[in-house]
Homo-oligomer: A and B are copies of this chain.
Amino acid sequence: MTAIRPLAPADHDAWLPLWRGYLTFYEAELSDEQTALTWHRILDPQFPIHGALATDDAGNAIGFVHWLTHAATWSALPYCYLEDLFVAPDTRGTGAGRALIAHVTGWAREYGAAKVYWLTHETNTTARTLYDRVATGTGFVHYEIGFDS
């Protein structure tokens, strides 16, 4: 059975290779400095960013999820944005992804959020098979204007 627990300082070494696997999946490159900052913010109570780790029967880390809350104009209650979700490829189909989403949903309900939402690439059919089962595809698509920093 997959178990889910909040990320804690001692989880850094278990989380790091999964985070790197996630970035590789998205063909993204982040500096080590950014990775260290993200880890720090997940644990910093001054940032509304949270994380949880999925482990298998043997206690091995097999996936993670990060989420954050922010205000919204359509709701008195905040929204919960599930920003990152990853399950190690060789452990897919074990229900870890579904359990990680359920963890965030349970957390957000208790926190007092109006909803949980996330974004995924339209071509990510494997993930979308799961998402179509546990959530509502709203038909909204994402645009951005990035700044060269």
Contacts and interface: CB of A to CB of B under 8 A. Distances in A.
Interface of A: 28, 30, 34, 37-38, 41-42, 44-49, 66, 68-78, 81, 83-84, 101, 105, 108-109, 111-123, 131, 134-147, 149
B68 A71 contact: yes
A104 B75 CA distance: 21
Identical copies in the complex: 4
User: Which of A42, A81, A101: most chain B Cβ within 10 A?
Assistant: A81
A46 B49 CA distance: 12
Contact of A143 (B72, B75, B138, B144): B138
A112 B44 CA distance: 8
B115 A145 contact: yes
B73 A147 contact: no
Contact of A74 (B34, B74, B81, B139): B34
23 contacts: A28-B74, A37-B76, A45-B69, A45-B113, A46-B47, A46-B77, A48-B70, A49-B71, A68-B73, A70-B81, A77-B149, A114-B149, A116-B144, A116-B145, A118-B142, A119-B143, A120-B140, A120-B141, A120-B143, A121-B139, A121-B141, A137-B142, A138-B144
Contact of A66 (B47, B73, B138, B149): B73
A73 B41 contact: yes
Given A71-B47, A73-B83, A114 B146 contact: yes
Nearest to A123: B139
